[in-house]
Chains A and B, each alone.
Chain A
């Protein structure tokens, strides 16, 4: 039962433009959402998170938006850089359950 879904397996964007990654979830108990970035042969690296009491969180070039009514979140990367080429995972946790439920990931390719 996939509770976190990333429906776009890949995204190609030109350097300097905005990258928008989307994530949907089904579990209403989720109250904490995270984005991780993964390079080949490395573990996931934490990027940014958002609590369900907020609808936006910003950290440098990265902004996460949360729409609780739609059970949808998105990650905006502005401007996109070649080093941003990686797999991005959306993850969620909720209540007293500290495990993370991950989406399948979106592979971002930033073109020069």
Chain B
């Protein structure tokens, strides 16, 4: 049974560029959440989507956006990249009762 899959695993972008990160949840999981983990800190909540609707948004600028597709996969988009956006981006999925988050291995984004 496949876990949460994220792509790409690593990415290098230049300041000002745009990036799209992708996440496929565990089969049967309808909720997807995105977290940013900067080195030395814990993951910080960015977005949560449930049944294709945004359920929550963390304290991130409007340069960050996301969406969830009918198959429950999700994309995280970041525009106008800054050096400070360099981080590990984690996707987590959870079953219909919204408990029991399972994380993917993350996408390591480096902005140069």
Which A residues are closer than 8 A to B by beta carbons?
Answer: 4, 6, 32, 34, 36, 41-46, 89, 91, 97-105
B48 at the interface (CB under 8 A from A): yes
B41–A104 CB distance below 8 A: yes
* Contact of A98 with B90 at beta-carbon distance under 8 Å, contacts A4-B42, A44-B43, A46-B100 already known: no
Which B residues are closer than 8 A to A by beta carbons?
Answer: 4, 31, 33, 35, 40-45, 48, 55-56, 58, 90, 92, 94, 98-106
Q: Which residue of A lies closest to B59 (CB)?
A: A1
Q: Which residue of A lies closest to B101 (CB)?
A: A100
B40–A98 CB distance below 8 A: no
For A98, list chain B residues within 8 Å (CB): 31, 33, 48, 55-56, 94, 98
Sampled A-B contacts (22; CB under 8 Å): A4-B42, A32-B99, A43-B4, A43-B90, A43-B103, A43-B104, A43-B105, A43-B106, A46-B100, A46-B101, A89-B43, A91-B42, A97-B56, A98-B31, A98-B94, A99-B45, A99-B56, A99-B58, A100-B33, A100-B101, A102-B42, A105-B42
Complex Cα distance A102/B35, Å?
10
Q: Which residue of B lies closest to A91 (CB)?
A: B42
For B31, list chain A residues within 8 Å (CB): 98
A89–B58 CB distance below 8 A: no
> Smallest Cβ distance from A98 to chain B, in angstroms?
5
For B56, list chain A residues within 8 Å (CB): 97-99
Q: Which of A6, A41, A97, A102 contacts B43 (CB 8 A)?
A: A102
Complex Cα distance A22/B45, Å?
22
A44–B41 CB distance below 8 A: no
A104–B43 CB distance below 8 A: no
A100–B41 CB distance below 8 A: no
Sort A-B residue pairs by CB-CB distance and give the 6 closest, nearest first. A102-B42, A43-B103, A99-B45, A43-B105, A44-B103, A98-B98
